[in-house]
Structure 1
Amino acid sequence: MSLLESTRNTFRRDQVWSFLAPHEQQVNVDKDMILYVEGLSVSFDGFKALNDLNLYINDGELRCLIGANGAGKTTLMDVITGKTACDTGSVFFGQNIDLLNKDEAEIAQLGIGRKFQKPTVFEEQTVFSNLELSLKSDKGVLPTLWAKLTPTQLDRIDEVLTTIGLKQQCFMLAGALSHGQKQWLEIGMLLAAEPRLLLIDEPVAGMTAQETERTAELLTSLAGDHTVIVVEHDMEFVRSLARTVTVLHQGSVLAEGTMDQIQNHPDVIEVYLGEDASLTSSTKAGESYL
């Protein structure tokens, strides 16, 4: 074996020296709850983006967050992922991990992945390369320099390609994909990192009806093995997911339940349509606000 081959094997991703490998803190979900948000408040120049917000997410569930612009949806996701500091409150990942004491990189390493509305893929790289770059592995200089995909990692990429429906586009440049396919690829990039919790922001914006339907199927299939929180304005899409819906208003939780329960909730009707309106008879008007 040559010196080069010996060195490459030394730094294979599945044989990284223990002192180089990142320490992983295991999330405790003994109570079947993966996210605890309590008393969370965030102010920007006197404006309360979040106002004593409480939110609890079960392990493996698919939850939809809806609400008008300025309701606090993006700010909540920013706090969970370490992008924005809060004024008061607590955010725990499982029972044991205080996310407010972690930075963005540490939170991602814990298994929390976020997808923004606009797809951010490496357009000059192939679909395969995008997924390879996203694999959960030591990103240190030496391990990355001498990296070689293992059979397990190749299987993982193949599994993700199957899940997101892009096996035929495996060696296509990401920039040549349709808008919907780029969205699926970015979801695949999150999956390649093996997250426990996925935060998905407006995944179907700009999609065709067929792509929207496929995205609903994809996100539904992920629930169970992953916990998925979806922020979305398309109410027909939210209804198709058929999971618990949380309505935010002025930085707090206004209502929570199934889509049918939400559309007939008196507080939601009053806030978004006025006291005498009915979401059951004015669904389209209500959906344009939510």
Structure 2
Amino acid sequence: MKTLDTLRTTMRRDQVWDFMRPKQGLELDMSHGTILYLEDISVTFDGFRAIDHLNLYIDAGELRCIIGPNGAGKTTMMDIITGKTRPDTGTAWFGQTIDLLRLSEPEIASLGIGRKFQKPTVFEPLSVMENLELAMAADKRVWPTLRARLTAEQRTRIDEVLETIGLQKHRAQRAGALSHGQKQWLEIGMLLMQDPYLLLVDEPVAGMTHQEMDRTAELLKSLAGKHSVVVVEHDMDFVRSIANKVTVLHQGSVLAEGTMDEVQNDPRVIEVYLGG
């Protein structure tokens, strides 16, 4: 109960924390059809070049898969997009006008870039619905407690997300009692409650059953168009099931890009990643 009380105190929905307030004057401009521009990005850690003159472009509404061997720079790339890591050189633009390299991690998140890590991070003592309530955009200055009455609009939004992630029947269930796959879907749902423009999803099917993998594929494909989705994944069968376009990273830069068939048949990819 102490954990639950702490969450209810710290996550008051009438409290709007300063770091979650969007910066004034930053509006996403996707008039050219591209939501993310990474150009000539390089970053070095203790003499090791993790990202090497990386150029990557993600279209609005696109579902893109990023693959590559361990150490290819996939995680560092997402760290740069979300503001966790600052590159040594290069530019990172969100739409036409927002310079991500000038913003902090909370500011980037408030602009509509959501990141899901490999291990699900949900509030296990709380119910599925309470997790979604806590994730609701923080600029709505209402309800002093977790159990305050929701408006019809907010209930409708939660119902929509529950349907999207397939957890309608589990709304009252404690999140800690969900299966691994269901926790992954709940965390995606928590990101969706904030209505992000861009979702970064790291190895979503690691540890899942085949049935859960199939459901995750359906979920991610359903998000494309409404959101831009970038999926980092090692499971090639899963990537094939969802991706129209695949980017292969190697030694911190783009090695190949195209359909799954194109990259799998690329001699360079075969040599460095798919093992012949």
* Superposition TM-score, scaled by structure 1 size: 0.85
Alpha-carbon distance in structure 1 between the residues aligned to 2:199 and 2:74? 15
Contact 2:132/2:190 (<8 A) preserved: yes
Alpha-carbon distance in structure 2 between the residues aligned to 1:258 and 1:69? 21
* 1:98 partner letter: D
* 1:238 partner letter: V
Note closer, same or farther for the CA distance 1:137–1:149 as it changes in structure 2 (3 Å cut): farther
Shift of 1:232: 0.1
Contact 2:67/2:247 (<8 A) preserved: yes
Alpha-carbon distance in structure 2 between the residues aligned to 1:271 and 1:235? 15
Sequence identity percentage: 66
Note closer, same or farther for the CA distance 1:174–1:51 as it changes in structure 2 (3 Å cut): same
Paired residue total: 258
Structure-to-structure mapping, 1:49-68, within 5 angstroms? 49-68=50-69
Contact 2:22/2:107 (<8 A) preserved: no
Contact 1:138/1:144 (<8 A) preserved: no
- CA distances 1:217-236 after superposition (whole Å, capped 9, x unpaired): 00000000000000000000
Query: Paired residue for 1:212?
Result: 213
Contact 2:21/2:110 (<8 A) preserved: no
Structure-to-structure mapping, 1:166-181, within 5 angstroms? 166-181=167-182
- CA distances 1:89-126 after superposition (whole Å, capped 9, x unpaired): 00000001000011110001000000000000000000
Alpha-carbon distance in structure 2 between the residues aligned to 1:86 and 1:145? 40
Shift of 1:143: 5.1
Shift of 1:148: 5.0
- CA distances 1:149-200 after superposition (whole Å, capped 9, x unpaired): 3221111100000000000000100000000000000000000010000000
Alpha-carbon distance in structure 1 between the residues aligned to 2:250 and 2:34? 24
Alpha-carbon distance in structure 1 between the residues aligned to 2:162 and 2:206? 22
Contact 2:65/2:243 (<8 A) preserved: no
Alpha-carbon distance in structure 2 between the residues aligned to 1:204 and 1:61? 19
Shift of 1:21: 6.5
* 1:32 partner letter: G
Q: Does 1:145 align with 2:144?
A: yes
Alpha-carbon distance in structure 1 between the residues aligned to 2:160 and 2:171? 12
* 2:144 partner letter: L
Shift of 1:272: 3.1
Query: Paired residue for 2:268?
Result: 267
Alpha-carbon distance in structure 2 between the residues aligned to 1:92 and 1:133? 29
Structure-to-structure mapping, 1:25-174, within 5 angstroms? 25-138=26-139, 145=144, 149-174=150-175
Alpha-carbon distance in structure 1 between the residues aligned to 2:185 and 2:159? 14
Flag the structure with more relative contact order, 1 or 2, with Cα contacts below 8 A and sequence separation at least 6. Answer: 2
* 1:249 partner letter: H
- CA distances 1:11-58 after superposition (whole Å, capped 9, x unpaired): x97xx9xxx974563200000000000000010000000000000000
Q: CA RMSD in A?
A: 2.0
Contact 2:61/2:226 (<8 A) preserved: yes
Gaps of 5+ in 2: 1-12
* 1:259 partner letter: M
Q: Secondary structure at the match of 1:74?
A: helix
Alpha-carbon distance in structure 2 between the residues aligned to 1:144 and 1:77? 34
Alpha-carbon distance in structure 1 between the residues aligned to 2:208 and 2:271? 31
Gaps of 5+ in 1: 1-11, 274-284
* 2:92 partner letter: V
Runs (4+) of structure 1 moved beyond 6 Å? Answer: none
The farther-off stretch of 143-152 and 38-47 is 143-152
Alpha-carbon distance in structure 2 between the residues aligned to 1:268 and 1:207? 26
* Superposition TM-score, scaled by structure 2 size: 0.89
Note closer, same or farther for the CA distance 1:45–1:164 as it changes in structure 2 (3 Å cut): same
Query: Paired residue for 1:230?
Result: 231
Alpha-carbon distance in structure 2 between the residues aligned to 1:152 and 1:269? 51
